[in-house]
Amino acid sequence: MLEGLLARARAFTSPPAGKVAVRAAEPLSSRLGASPFVSREPERWQGLGPRRAAPVVAGGHASVGPEAPPPLPNWGEDPTTGEPLPVGPRLVLDPGAFREARIAHRHAWFPALAFAAAQGDTAAGEAAVGAMDGWLRQDIPGTGVAWAHPSDLAARLLHWHAGLAWLGAAAPDTLRAAMAGSAQWHIEHLRERLPRAPGDHARRIAHHCGVIVGALTFPDLPGSRAAWTESVSALRFALPEELHPDGSPQDDAPLRLAETLWYVAVARAVARANGASFPTVADAALVRGARFLERLAGELGALPPLGEAPLGDLLDVPGRPLAWGLWNLVRAWGLDDGPPAPHADDDPRVAWLAPGVPHPAGPLAEPLSHEAAGKTWSMWVFRESGLAVAHMRIKNRPSRVVAAMGTPLRSTHDTHVAPLHLLWDVGDASVLADPGPSQGAGRLASWLRSPGAHNVLLLDGHAVAEGVPASLGVARVDGKKARIEGSHTGWHRLRVPLTHERDVLLNQARLIVTDRLVPAGRRVGRHAVRLSWQLGPGWSLTPEGTGYLAKRGDLTLVIQLPAALAWSVHSGESTPGPVGWVRTASGGVVAAPCLVGDGGVDGGAEFVTSFEVR
């Protein structure tokens, strides 16, 4: 048996002595939504062989020098596309290829194929086993793009857990043994490279969740109990630190928060299924965060792309927004008895992580944020993060206005500092858009995360001085109208005595924005002003009066602009610098019209812009 294991798992196996146990997955029924997150009696495997000692290096982060580094091994093919998993020198020169490689090495394809196998697709099961076997044969622990970012290891362990369970008896013993040996390297790597910087809460949580799932999936690995116990305990502090008391994220990146809470939800399900307790304080933080995301998503389901986004989807369920799924899961666990989000009774996430758990007793009322999205505006306000979210139906489709009036006190690599930023969506049409996550390096990525790419006012090229927060003032609904006000004094630190106030009036299908510069001293001086409005993709513009008439499908948008500024339209431009670009939900970047108004002020000024959907 020793020779067979060594031949099967050439890359590495388990420690030099001792037994390795894995969670043996029982055969699943063909019922959609069968849960892999249940407790099972472990079976024992002999996993003997040398541990390969490899230095921890970031293969995808090597510096570009006179000569490219030697190619690393090929990790086989992505079974979902048939393409080789990219690795090697081209990743050094091509950040996009490095990103694609990281996504492939997170192994989302493994549970996807395993789930298809659980539904009776034998070929999918064979593809999952073959691809995983090929990866294990070639992988060198700690080396290459597969190990460059430790958070990818956490995602891989979660995908392995679900994939093994859905494969059931179709996963050979030798494959499970090799995966157990690899899991030990994963767990040790995650523990040794735990992020400790102040702004790394999300990644720290992902590490802990990966350790919990990996150690409980392979419970007889040396030190597994100590590893998952330590990580469960650490979530008592790490998760609450990621959130404001109202559930909004500290770094103003809701997409990143959704991924973090999904990590926690999976880790909680695995822990509870195996008889491990989960911290009550972490449960409370999970509820707060899930409630925030559900209210932010509203009837649209999709979260606004504020700040940075996760690298790739984790156990994705197409057609079932993660914000809804997290909230419905919290309800199914009995952690909150609030009204449900859509698909409360047929969300696969609930079937996976809370199988057989009845809904809380009592009638199922419609969610407040959805019920209120009628012919008048309703609003949720999150003052800790300076966020106001208004919902209403326009032209018989859901509409959402997001006023990101605040700036985070803790700026991280997930944060886009854009004070008094404004978004507006009507159905699948983005009226006022966020440029989206930067996702990488280069001129375009730097532009997408810069203040100038957002719907803000710049003074002498500055949105705000670093460390000066913007604040949310009034946020209320008055009958058929809603009003949101915010301000910042971020230019004072730059020795410019001007305060920026932004008032947003929502009047049915019309949005009126008043930007006011208020002098805070007698000598203001002359300063350049730039006001930008980034529209979503698909709008065609025609000049009309003091503004533009925009059309997209059956929607017409009437735009009136302040005459005090000189206006121009930019779309998909790269020189002298990028402007007019928006990242889509699929990750690509497309051209979209951006209205840019330039002018100058030497005192107080007021600029009124109007957008009306007809």
What's the distance, Cα to Cα, between the start and end of the chain in Å? 73
- Token pair in block for residue 555: 């929607």
Average pLDDT over residues 382-406: 93
Contact 314, 325 (CB under 8 A): no
Task: Give 250's contacts (C-beta < 8 A, 6+ positions apart).
Answer: 201, 241, 242, 243, 244, 385, 408, 410
Q: Say what the alpha-carbon torsion angle 234, 239, 242, 244 is, to the nearest 10 degrees.
A: -130
- Cα separation, 459 vs 92, whole angstroms: 37
- Cα separation, 28 vs 413, whole angstroms: 41
Task: Give 586's contacts (C-beta < 8 A, 6+ positions apart).
Answer: none
pLDDT at 78: 56
pLDDT at 10: 29
Work out the percent of the chain whose per-residue pLDDT is above 70: 79
Task: Kindly report, residue by residue over 537-554, the tens digit of the pLDDT.
Answer: 999 999 999 999 999 999
Task: Give 65's contacts (C-beta < 8 A, 6+ positions apart).
Answer: none
Q: Which residue has the tokens 């073959």?
A: 130
**Domains of the chain: which residue ranges?**
1-193, 237-367, 372-613
- Cα separation, 330 vs 284, whole angstroms: 10
Q: Which helix (H) or strand (E) holds 155?
A: helix 150-167
Looking at CATH, the fold of the domain delimited by 372-613 is given as: Beta-galactosidase; Chain A, domain 5 (2.70.98)
More reliable by pLDDT, 445 or 163: 163
- The DSSP annotation for 420-433 comes to TEEEEEETTEEEE-
Statement: residue 244 has pLDDT above 60: yes
- Cα separation, 519 vs 500, whole angstroms: 9
Q: Is 209 helix (H, G, I), strand (E, B) or coil?
A: helix
pLDDT at 542: 96
Mean pLDDT of the chain: 80
Statement: residue 73 has pLDDT above 50: no
Buried b (16+ CB within 10 A) or exposed e, 231-252: bbebbeebbbebbbebbbbbbb
